[in-house]
């Protein structure tokens, strides 16, 4: 799994789900005058465990899978939508769990000796919190930001510090980047050639500009923020979402738009190519 494709919201949901798993082992009910207690794993509290703890872990897993397979649908809904719905269900179940007053049989206790333990209150608080995070994950800009930032661009051999032109040398294999050397962008190489004595140095071509002569050279690139990839047939339907931290291959150009190919072989139109990071 490419961790760099996760957002801050995904990280927050995963953290809340792991905490709910830990809290499930804490006492949900305590019994005065004895050392006995009951956790969420007790069969007497069923279905607390699957509707809160396990459902929270499933929510986190769905958000993670959604970043690896953007746009994938299951029964008409995307993985993001399923994760959001399941997260709301976790909050709903956690809310009603606090009103539970079930006394496990065989302990010889009555209502007067039963009280809520730390596990009950922490399950309630973090269950509601996970539901809020699931709803805001894809809506709040602060949560949509990359969890670890974009992957660093490969540096030319022998370069020491500082920003280097991405197309000055064939890209090297890196995390999330297909291996093998790639051809150098001819337009950029021409722009970097030494100028005659006394002549003004040429300016490098923009990242998404088409090379002179109408010939397009494929190149690898990464996006600064999540961006939709639309179908090539002009129907306007979104087929995938490009995420920061993952390298994609630009195979053609239509005006200011790029024809991009994802790592699983899908091709589409990237209408917004501003600020892309070339490899």
The per-residue pLDDT for range 187-237, each reduced to its tens digit, is 444 444 455 555 554 444 444 444 444 578 899 999 999 999 998 887 878
Q: Which of 246, 242, 245, 240 is nearest to 273 (CA)?
A: 242
The class level of CATH for 207-278 reads mainly beta
Query: What is the CATH topology of the domain spanning 3-104+112-144?
Result: 1.20.120
Secondary structure of the chain as H, E, C letters: CCHHHCEHHHHHHHHHHHHHHHHCCCCCEEECCCCCEECCCCHHHCCHHHHHHHHHHHHHHHHHHHHHCCCCEECCEEHHHHHHHHHHHHHHHHHHHCCCCCCCCCCCCCHHHEEECHHHHHHHHHHHHHHHHHHHCCCCHHHHCECCCCCCCCCCCCCCCCCCCCCCCCCCCECCECCCCCCCCHHHHHHHCCCCCCCCCCCCCCCCCCCHHHCCCCEEEECCCCEEEECCCCCCCEEEEECCCCCEEEEEEECCEEEEECCCCCEEEECCCCCCEEC
Cis peptide before 47 (omega within 30 of 0): yes
Provide the pLDDT for residue 154. Answer: 46
* From 58-62, 80-84, 172-176, 234-238, the region with the lowest mean pLDDT: 172-176
User: Which one is predicted more confidently, 244 or 133?
Assistant: 133
Nearest to 243 by CA among 277, 217, 210, 209: 277
For residue 107, the model assigns a pLDDT of: 43
Identify the pLDDT of residue 235: 80
Tell me if domain 3-104+112-144 and domain 207-278 are identical in fold.
no
Could you report the per-residue pLDDT of 17-37, keeping only the tens digit for each? 999 999 999 999 998 888 889
Total Cβ atoms within 10 A of residue 240: 22
Q: Whole-angstrom Cα distance, residue 207 to residue 276?
A: 7
Question: In the chain, pLDDT over 90 holds for what percent of residues?
Answer: 43
| Domain coordinates in residue numbering, the chain | 3-104+112-144, 207-278
**Phi/psi zone of residue 52: left (φ > 0), alpha (ψ -120 to 50 degrees), beta?**
alpha
pLDDT > 60? residue 15: yes
- Report the range of poorest mean pLDDT among 117-121, 145-149, 160-164: 160-164
Average pLDDT over residues 53-76: 92
pLDDT tens column, 153-173: 444 444 444 444 444 334 444
pLDDT of residue 1: 66
Angle value at C-alpha 129, between 121 and 94, nearest 5 degrees: 50
Mean model confidence pLDDT for the chain: 79
102 — pLDDT class (breaks 50, 70, 90) = low
Judge contact between 82 and 62, C-beta under 8 A: yes
Choice between 3 and 137, residue whose per-residue pLDDT is larger:
137
Q: Can you tell me the distance from the alpha carbon of 167 to that of 145, in angstroms, rounded to the nearest whole number? A: 27
């Amino acid at each position: 799994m490419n961790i760099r494709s996760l957002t801050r919201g995904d990280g927050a949901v995963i953290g809340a789900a792991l905490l709910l798993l830990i809290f499930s082992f804490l006492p949900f009910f305590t019994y005065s005058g004895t050392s006995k207690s009951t956790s969420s794993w007790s069969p007497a509290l069923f279905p607390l465990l699957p509707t809160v703890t396990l459902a929270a872990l499933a929510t986190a897993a769905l958000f993670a899978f959604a970043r690896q397979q953007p746009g994938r649908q299951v029964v008409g809904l995307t993985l993001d939508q399923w994760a959001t719905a399941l997260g709301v269900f976790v909050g709903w179940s956690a809310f009603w769990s606090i009103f539970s007053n079930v006394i496990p049989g065989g302990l010889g206790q009555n209502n007067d000796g039963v009280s809520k333990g730390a596990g009950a209150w922490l399950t309630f608080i973090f269950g509601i919190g996970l539901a809020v995070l699931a709803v805001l994950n894809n809506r709040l800009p602060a949560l949509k930001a990359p969890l670890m930032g974009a992957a660093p661009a490969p540096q030319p051999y022998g370069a020491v510090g500082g920003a280097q032109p991405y197309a000055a040398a064939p890209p090297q294999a890196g995390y999330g980047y297909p291996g093998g050397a790639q051809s150098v962008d001819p337009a950029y190489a021409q722009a970097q050639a030494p100028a005659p004595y006394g002549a003004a140095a040429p300016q490098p071509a923009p990242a998404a500009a088409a090379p002179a002569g109408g010939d397009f050279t494929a190149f690898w690139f990464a996006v600064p923020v999540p961006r939709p990839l639309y179908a090539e047939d002009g129907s306007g339907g979104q087929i995938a979402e490009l995420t920061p931290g993952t390298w994609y291959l630009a195979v053609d150009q239509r005006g200011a738009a790029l024809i991009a190919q994802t790592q699983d072989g899908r091709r589409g139109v990237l209408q917004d190519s501003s600020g892309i990071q070339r490899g």
